[in-house]
Homo-oligomer: A and B are copies of this chain.
């Protein structure tokens, strides 16, 4: 899905922003950049801000009209501030990404998608926005709504990547582990946990912290604390080691009394 997405920048003024966009794209594994009549490109400022995403800049296509940039595109989405004279279908970045994923899924061949971003100071013209099937609006602070160009591209590409990863059963988003990352040690089993809680209770009685005749909610609270952290086998081993050491100290103390 990400290979069919092109980022189109219209009349960008600051070459540094083009570099920032290239970096944001590459971070999200999106590589096709089209520049419509940029003020200054190529530029050292672009290369510096790209921080290593120079392949994106080198393969960027420079064209003179939006029409050329959109050639072959089947879904065109324009970045837009909210209020327009004639409202157009507006989606937020998450909805946009879900629609792009849905369109790709429904179609046999890959669907070419363009995300179009306007000038730093005044965005896209109404005429340019009317060439789009949809407008995408980042739900920003109404009192301070204008994002930096590279930041806007970052949010849009992030949502596209999240949608692409959601489709991929092997991706980190669909990792079965509840932590979202592979844990290094196997989880403790239920019976290992129960033996730990028995050991804990016994030790707390021995050190006179728990009164078996008036236990209150102590064990419940401790159980809840430890269960919440979903301990692994090594951790339970460590905790039981501490209990054994505690019991030993208590016994020695008892001997000396």
Where the two chains meet, the residues of A that have a C-beta atom closer than 8 Å to any C-beta of B are 20, 23-24, 26-29, 51-53, 82, 86-87, 89-95, 137-141, 143-148, 150-151, 154-155, 158, 161-162, 165, 171-173, 179-184
**Could you tell me the distance in whole angstroms from the C-beta of A201 to the nearest C-beta in chain B?**
27
List the B side residues contacting A86 at CB < 8 Å.
184
Question: Within the assembled complex, what's the spacing in Å between the Cα atoms of A162 and B51?
Answer: 29
List the B side residues contacting A138 at CB < 8 Å.
27, 158
Instruction: Report yes or no: A27 in contact with B144, Cβ–Cβ below 8 A.
Output: yes
Instruction: Report yes or no: B51 in contact with A148, Cβ–Cβ below 8 A.
Output: yes
Knowing A87-B181, A179-B89, A181-B90, the reply to whether A20 touches B141 (Cβ < 8 A) is: no
Q: How many copies does the complex hold?
A: 2
List the B side residues contacting A147 at CB < 8 Å.
23-24, 27, 154
Knowing A51-B148, A86-B184, A151-B151, the reply to whether A141 touches B29 (Cβ < 8 A) is: yes
Instruction: Report yes or no: B87 in contact with A179, Cβ–Cβ below 8 A.
Output: yes
A–B Cβ pairs within 8 angstroms, 6 of them? A27-B141, A27-B147, A29-B144, A137-B181, A140-B161, A151-B151
List the B side residues contacting A94 at CB < 8 Å.
162
Knowing A82-B181, A144-B53, A179-B87, the reply to whether A173 touches B139 (Cβ < 8 A) is: yes
Knowing A20-B148, A51-B148, A92-B173, the reply to whether A137 touches B180 (Cβ < 8 A) is: yes
